Structure 1
Amino acid sequence: MFPDTTATCHVLDNGLTVILNADSSAPVISTQAWVETGSIHEGDFMGAGISHLLEHMVFKGTKSFTGEELSQTVQAAGGQWNAYTSFDRTVYYIDGPADSAKTFLQAVLEMVFMPSFPEFEFEKEKDVIRREIDMGLDDPDSRASRLLFSTALASDGRAEPVIGHLELFNKVTYEDMCAYHAARYTTSNTFLTISGDFEEEAMLATLKELTKDIPRSFTKHATVQSEPRQLGQRTRRDTFAIPVSKLALSWQVPTLDHPDAPALDLLSTILGGGRSSRLYQRLREKRNLCLHIASWSWITAMGPGLFSVSAEVPTEKRDELQAAIREEITNLLNDSLDEELTKAKRMALSSQFKTLTSASGRASDLGSNWHEARNLNFTKDYLTAVDKVTQADLRRVCETYLLENTTLTVTSLDPEDKVAKTVTNKKAQSTREITSHTLSNGLTLHLCPDNRLPTVSLQGAMLAGMTSETPATAGISTFLANMLSKGTTSCSGEEIATALESLGASLKAGAGNNTASIGASCLKPDLETVLEIMGDTLANPAFHQSNIDFERQTQLAALQEENEDPASLAFRTLRSTIFEGQGYGINPLGTEESLAGIDRLGLTAHHALYYTASNTNLCIFGDIDPDTTVALAEKHLSQLKTGEKQSPAEQPLGKPLEIHRTLDKQQAVLAIGYPGADIASPDIHALDLIHAWCADMAGPLFTRIREDLGLAYYCSATQFHGHTTGLFAFYLGTSPEQLELAKHELTNTIHEIAEKGIPAKTLDSVKNSWLAKQALANQSNAAMARLCAVDTTLGFSPTHHRETAEKIKAITVEDTLKAAQAYFAKQQPTVVTVTP
């Protein structure tokens, strides 16, 4: 039903792509230049709004026109012109009489490729944009939108406002802008769409004449960060001078090329597309829960997209409305959707037909098709897919995406006075706000003020650890972490130690299963000094040969000492077997062979790949002023190179085996291990309780095997959660002659746990014990900052650690049984024994 486009695509001699759509139905024309650059392409200027600044400055004059002449020429020719900048494009357009086509094209081509950039206009235009930034900060809809995008796309360039943050915008220089233009406004990165009353051959001749002085140019590569898979519900609330709350529920959804995209678009129409939609009629008109409500899907070529429901709601009804929205979504699974589906398809078709009624609409549609899909017929192809969507498809995508809590983001912008009345001082203190900021180099900063003591804790995490190593580089993460404080290109290790200790401050780096880390603590007045030292150690480690040689000896000694410990040998063997000697199966200390191969070149390469701004989250908790701290971090941490956010490697799993090792010691050690849960698994909280129970002196292992039978010196459990899998292991130490009986009893105990989970009479006490231990362990700012740093680096929200206690409280006996059966009954274990 939707027509094939009659547009044609051409490539000029200089590489510029031109899309022509001749239509003589009206004597008008639309000329558009699409530059495929936007705020997500700004690299080192991320968050500074340099793309938007550039959009403003090209109107200030070109090769042939001053700014005033340009405006007068377009106006005299009857042109209506403007431009916009978004996340991934900057578009310039002039619409007007068809006989002015050459004038419009000359203007738009010179604006894009031959701007004069009068320097005297630069600061004046920056002042204009500063006012625009202030206007955005004063606009509640803009603030609500920023809150949603910065939460739902926290690690993504789209989390930052297109117009930029004022403090970063202020740093952009005239030279920065000119260099950015040269890098991004190229013939390979730009295309024209022209629709209206013209002859194709004559238009191509005109374009050839107008572009003869525009040379072929290629785009400088820009690293674009996309949001990783969301691993848990994210919730953020903020306040503003508004009368009612602005609530949004958003779920991550796939990209435009995914087969579910058409169904998701139709589902958003059915839910909240207009006044006859389900949410509007049922929740606004019938239940009076909100003043306005709508749903929308934002699905683009770059993922993830968002499926959102937004509403204006009296604050006292906000939570009730949120629950009602979730209920209506659930109802979709059982309701007949025939009539609503037909209506939604008709609305989609009608909307697209309206686009084609004007030259500007046709040019925009073609530009969008080319930009998103490099397919001029994409609109028709997409509508064809929309027409094939069935009720079953709607229910499937609803169940797949909208009933999935781990991809849900909830934000609300609430009235200041009403929130103040409902929050006590004690509650405000116990849930201190965490704010997130992105530095100009891409480093993510999370700040939490706490003025109870004049101290500050800094905790940084990089996505690295064991998954960044190979058997040949085993131990390099630990090695590098220990080298950071041994000296930089400007400061010796002794000078670093003296500077810190003279302040009573500390700095320590390390490496674990999933992350590398750096932590520091200091008194409030010394924060800038410590930040300067931290920035220097992170960005500029010297890796002096003498320090490398000494660290190699130190780590080798630790490895040799570990080799003499039967428990260490058992666990190294267990992990190596379960993970096939890769990733989590690598010894963090390395091997004698791998340590011998670590050199300055290898350390430098590992550092350059993983110790980058885009791969780092830094949490600063304590007696801080957020604005001052952001400025200090920008000053001292911006030297860290932007780099790229790393992706953890898939972890292999080996076949379960029974392995026996010998070591000339008195004791025997038994370890029984299973592949465990990944960090996104819904089972992790049940497993945490099983682990706490089995590791406790009142738990089934200790009471049965050590206390009742006297078969072991120690008996416990251990676990960790990884990127795609984890480990859960039981272990004991015993005398060689009791090993078989101890193994029999431990195996029976594991089987009993797999059959029953945690008994009902025991579960509450296990929860209380777990909660108490966590409260004691995490009462300091350092501990909370460490949790926040690791969580955000792994893809969780900054407040994820605050949600764990409630999730633990919600675990049932059935949850523990389900988890125990999944990991201990349905999987075969790897068993390792070490005997004299």
Structure 2
Amino acid sequence: MFPDTTATLHTLDNGLKVILDSDSSAPVISTQVWVETGSIHEGDWMGAGLSHLLEHMVFKGTESFTGEELSQTVQAAGGQWNAYTTFDRTVYYIDGPKESAETFLKAVTEMVFKPSFPEDEFEKEKDVIRREIDMGLDDPDSRASRQLFATALANDGRSQPVIGHLELFNKVTHADMIAYHQARYTTENSFLAISGDFDKVEILETLKKLVGSIPRSFTLQPQVSEEPPQLGKRLQRSTFAIPATQLTLAWQVPGLTHPDAAALELLSTILGGGRSSRLYQSIREQQGLCLHIASWAWITKQHTGLFSVSAEVPYEQREELEQAIYLEIEKLCGAPLDAELAKAKRMTLVSQFKTLTTASGRASDLASNWHEARNLNFTKDFVTDIEKINEADIRRVCQQYLLDHSKLTVTSLDPEGSDENAAQQESSNTEKEITSHTLSNGLELHLCADSRLPMVSIQAAIRGGLTAETPENAGISTLLSALLTKGTRSRSGAEIATQLETLGASLNASSGNNTSAVAASCLSQDLDTVLEIFGDAFANPAFHQENIDFERKAQLTALLEQNEDPVSLAFRTMRSKLFAGQGYGINRLGTENSLESISQLAINAHHSLYYTATNTKISIFGNIEKDEVIELAEKHLSQIQPGQVHYSSSQAHGEPSEIKLTLDKQQAVLALGYRGASIHSEDIHALDLLHAWCADMAGPLFTRIREELGLAYYCSATQFRGHDTGLFGFYLGTSPDQIDLAKAELFKTIQTIATEGMSESTLDSVKNSWLAKQALSNQSNSAMARLCAIDTALGFSPTHHREITEKIKAVTTGEILAAAQKYFKDQQVTIVTVIP
């Protein structure tokens, strides 16, 4: 069922290998360069983060471009670019319109093979990374991950953080970086992966022209340490400012070349992959021992991998949870597994299908195949191996690897002050027809057929969200969303999860500013079953009291975690002040008081009022026959009560003010909030382009504050539009001693924008970048169905999202300047600063 790849491998005269995947379904291209070097290859610099530093520095200029010219060139060509570094690879990519292929390839290959490494940028970029290191130390997920790898792989290079330790990072010199680049960034140790709409002959000729002058070069591979067999259980506990323990159990398992790799992947899905899994249903849903639990298999080409179970658990239940996990593993070894095995295989297949929907996903999949296995068809081969696994294989690997506690590592990140630790510290760009149909109950459907992959996306948008809440019931929309899949009058939550995941399907609900959403996806052959479950969950949720109590507890924990994040604290405070604590000024998680006061009766009433046919729009996009879908929708969705359309009341506004807060973290955060535009404003397209410019790496904020002055690790902009108002915000993160200077420079830059606007050439470049980002987004049926559902719920046409392109193209520099003056110069701002 999984297709053979049609990609081809080519070797240029200098030895550089190129993977080409030509696909004309969308007019976009993804260009990626993979350098087979990461933190485990740093030799004498191990633990210094040299690979990550080098990744940052190649953006500072090349043989043909200064750093500013490089970012402007990519942006003007519509490129969306970035890079990342892991233990064993550094990857650079640029995605965008196919017409810019040569520009993208010139930029990305020069970055990798011909960087200029300006010495005057070196210390400034090191200071930026120092802020990033601080941010990692503030983040509980990053801390928990470091703790796990340092303990489970204690003798392995992967025990060291990719970003490096500050004291070692500080010792790296400019000369060290150049020497590392010369040693590791060679034609032998790198390859290209290109996917999208292009002619293979033409792209090869282009590559010969661009990289033909790069000489053949080789890499002397350093000795990479491998973790020896574990000889006993390892335990590591530490504390952090979190409300609940993050617990991880991890067993050493073999790498990707081992015959047990496929069985271990399936075992992780059966044990803890999804809401219908054994761990989730038994331990979270039935016993209520944890707030979240999942298992995962990290199996790579390295000799040793990890099989892990991770959970978030109240500290006082940590030991009980650990014992319950062991018991579930023992039960699995003796239980019938055929149905769960079939479900796990289907989930794996669907997950792999999803990687093929975009050019970027296909390029990454092919590059990963080559990097891990030197086999472009490895994904299909692995899926084939998955299909061969039987019940006996699952039992055997479970017994062999998970019952042996001499291979077990247990780590926990516990709340500060806990007793024990007090002493221990693809979509096509072609516009397919969207048709609309109204069911007998008044529910409006929007359908779009796309047969490229055998998948369907269902997206429902319900008018409401924060606009349907008050300070007294704040958080009710989010709580209701969490409960929507926990059971109906005819199905339990476990039955819903099992039915869906047996099919490899999904059903999720969420809530936002203007709407709530329910989304599902499945293989097209399963649409009847999934639409039946979708309709049942939407129309007939049971809202059992035990589920309400449990999800309330989980939401309260998330709220407490949110309070420890300086960025979240700054934005929530800014929005509350800007919107007078009403509507958009309400925290979507609510408050401790509001959550405690929400009753079962209130949730039922909220659902009855908003989750109605006339207050909801549903889009179904994918491999469908429209007449059949209408028939299925009438069968399964007509049970939704007709109801009435919800119209939001006018949004209140607060007086502009300045708030200074403290939080015991290492970074300082600044957030500025201006009243933004409504969804119906004539200014929205100019503001979209101002936002794209201010949020871009080539934009005025990033260029001035981060690049030129080195004052912040991140500096960007954000916005949203509401029914009668909106928000346009700016934010940055910096060190506490630089917050005042960074704030002054941010205001100065904003006022320059408000006074001067954009030049004609800058506007053209920003438009190209915005349009390219939309083209990349339009590859996904789920994204397009979501846009269609939200647009129609808010009163626009089903094709509204398609019309925006022409409106963006028509924006003038005069409109940009007028919008900048109106929103940034002619109104006062709300300011929130969070410092240690």
User: Which position in structure 2 is the counterpart of 1:25?
Assistant: 25
Map 1:458-473 → 2, pairs under 5 A: none
User: Which position in structure 1 is the counterpart of 2:346?
Assistant: 346
User: Which position in structure 2 is the counterpart of 1:100?
Assistant: 100
User: Which position in structure 2 is the counterpart of 1:283?
Assistant: 283
Map 1:340-489 → 2, pairs under 5 A: 340-419=340-419, 422=420, 428=423
The 1-side partners of 2:389 and 2:380 are apart by: 15
Map 1:99-248 → 2, pairs under 5 A: 99-248=99-248
- Are 1:258 and 2:255 matched, yes or no? no
* Other structure's SS at 2:182 match: helix
Letter in 2 for 1:171: K
Map 1:513-662 → 2, pairs under 5 A: none
After superposition, what is the alpha-carbon deviation per residue over 1:351-400, rounded to whole angstroms, capped at 9, x for unaligned?
11110111000000000000000000000000000011101000000000
The 2-side partners of 1:346 and 1:251 are apart by: 25
Q: How far apart are 1:423 and its partner, in Å?
A: 6.2
The 2-side partners of 1:302 and 1:314 are apart by: 34
After superposition, what is the alpha-carbon deviation per residue over 1:559-591, rounded to whole angstroms, capped at 9, x for unaligned?
xxxxxxxxxxxxxxxxxxxxxxxxxxxxxxxxx
The 2-side partners of 1:212 and 1:304 are apart by: 38
Q: Show structure 1 runs of 5+ residues with no match.
A: 434-836
Q: How far apart are 1:338 and its partner, in Å?
A: 1.2
The 1-side partners of 2:278 and 2:415 are apart by: 27
* Other structure's SS at 1:187 match: coil
* Other structure's SS at 2:235 match: strand
- Are 1:77 and 2:59 matched, yes or no? no
The alignment's TM-score, normalised by the length of structure 2, stands at 0.50
Q: How far apart are 1:417 and its partner, in Å?
A: 1.1
Taking a change above 3 Å as real, the CA distance of residues 286 and 102 of structure 1, as seen in their structure-2 partners, is: same
The 2-side partners of 1:205 and 1:414 are apart by: 57
The 2-side partners of 1:77 and 1:345 are apart by: 41
- Are 1:337 and 2:357 matched, yes or no? no
After superposition, what is the alpha-carbon deviation per residue over 1:762-808, rounded to whole angstroms, capped at 9, x for unaligned?
xxxxxxxxxxxxxxxxxxxxxxxxxxxxxxxxxxxxxxxxxxxxxxx
Taking a change above 3 Å as real, the CA distance of residues 423 and 88 of structure 1, as seen in their structure-2 partners, is: closer
User: Which position in structure 2 is the counterpart of 1:36?
Assistant: 36
The 1-side partners of 2:366 and 2:119 are apart by: 35
The 1-side partners of 2:393 and 2:363 are apart by: 32
- Are 1:273 and 2:273 matched, yes or no? yes
* Other structure's SS at 1:322 match: helix
The 1-side partners of 2:310 and 2:6 are apart by: 38
The 2-side partners of 1:7 and 1:19 are apart by: 7
After superposition, what is the alpha-carbon deviation per residue over 1:485-535, rounded to whole angstroms, capped at 9, x for unaligned?
xxxxxxxxxxxxxxxxxxxxxxxxxxxxxxxxxxxxxxxxxxxxxxxxxxx
The 1-side partners of 2:101 and 2:80 are apart by: 12
User: Which position in structure 1 is the counterpart of 2:305?
Assistant: 305
* Other structure's SS at 1:283 match: helix
Taking a change above 3 Å as real, the CA distance of residues 423 and 26 of structure 1, as seen in their structure-2 partners, is: closer
The 2-side partners of 1:379 and 1:221 are apart by: 27
- Are 1:319 and 2:319 matched, yes or no? yes
After superposition, what is the alpha-carbon deviation per residue over 1:301-333, rounded to whole angstroms, capped at 9, x for unaligned?
002100000000011100000000000000011
The 1-side partners of 2:284 and 2:353 are apart by: 30
The 1-side partners of 2:141 and 2:221 are apart by: 34
User: Which position in structure 2 is the counterpart of 1:690?
Assistant: none
User: Which position in structure 2 is the counterpart of 1:585?
Assistant: none
* Other structure's SS at 1:216 match: coil
User: Which position in structure 2 is the counterpart of 1:5?
Assistant: 5
Contact between 2:48 and 2:163, CA under 8 Å: does it hold in 1? yes
Q: How far apart are 1:276 and its partner, in Å?
A: 1.3
* Other structure's SS at 2:168 match: helix
The 2-side partners of 1:265 and 1:139 are apart by: 28
Map 1:653-672 → 2, pairs under 5 A: none
The 1-side partners of 2:263 and 2:116 are apart by: 47
The 1-side partners of 2:7 and 2:393 are apart by: 33
The 2-side partners of 1:274 and 1:129 are apart by: 35
After superposition, what is the alpha-carbon deviation per residue over 1:45-85, rounded to whole angstroms, capped at 9, x for unaligned?
00000000000000000000000000000001010000000
After superposition, what is the alpha-carbon deviation per residue over 1:536-567, rounded to whole angstroms, capped at 9, x for unaligned?
xxxxxxxxxxxxxxxxxxxxxxxxxxxxxxxx
The 2-side partners of 1:250 and 1:221 are apart by: 29
Letter in 2 for 1:384: T
User: Which position in structure 1 is the counterpart of 2:51?
Assistant: 51
Q: How far apart are 1:223 and its partner, in Å?
A: 1.3
Q: How far apart are 1:274 and its partner, in Å?
A: 1.1
Q: Show structure 2 runs of 5+ residues with no match.
A: 426-836
The 2-side partners of 1:264 and 1:247 are apart by: 21
Q: How far apart are 1:220 and its partner, in Å?
A: 2.6
Contact between 2:239 and 2:421, CA under 8 Å: does it hold in 1? no
After superposition, what is the alpha-carbon deviation per residue over 1:22-45, rounded to whole angstroms, capped at 9, x for unaligned?
111111100000000000000000
The 1-side partners of 2:132 and 2:234 are apart by: 30
The 1-side partners of 2:148 and 2:302 are apart by: 18
**Kindly, what percent of the aligned residue pairs are identical?**
74
The structure whose Rg is larger is 1
Contact between 2:238 and 2:421, CA under 8 Å: does it hold in 1? no
* Other structure's SS at 2:62 match: coil
The 2-side partners of 1:223 and 1:92 are apart by: 25
Contact between 2:249 and 2:410, CA under 8 Å: does it hold in 1? yes
The 2-side partners of 1:290 and 1:407 are apart by: 24
The 2-side partners of 1:299 and 1:226 are apart by: 14
* Other structure's SS at 1:282 match: helix
* Other structure's SS at 2:417 match: helix
Q: How far apart are 1:100 and its partner, in Å?
A: 0.5
* Other structure's SS at 2:385 match: helix
Aligned pair count? 425
The 2-side partners of 1:286 and 1:332 are apart by: 17
* Other structure's SS at 2:231 match: coil
Q: How far apart are 1:175 and its partner, in Å?
A: 0.4
- Of structures 1 and 2, the one scoring higher in RCO (CA 8 A, sep 6+) is 2
After superposition, what is the alpha-carbon deviation per residue over 1:77-119, rounded to whole angstroms, capped at 9, x for unaligned?
0100000000000000000001110000000000000000010
The 1-side partners of 2:333 and 2:280 are apart by: 19
Letter in 2 for 1:54: L
* Other structure's SS at 1:316 match: helix
Letter in 2 for 1:413: L
* Other structure's SS at 2:141 match: helix
* Other structure's SS at 1:224 match: coil
Q: How far apart are 1:203 and its partner, in Å?
A: 0.9
The alignment's TM-score, normalised by the length of structure 1, stands at 0.50
After superposition, what is the alpha-carbon deviation per residue over 1:428-469, rounded to whole angstroms, capped at 9, x for unaligned?
4xxx77xxxxxxxxxxxxxxxxxxxxxxxxxxxxxxxxxxxx
Map 1:784-803 → 2, pairs under 5 A: none
User: Which position in structure 1 is the counterpart of 2:63?
Assistant: 63
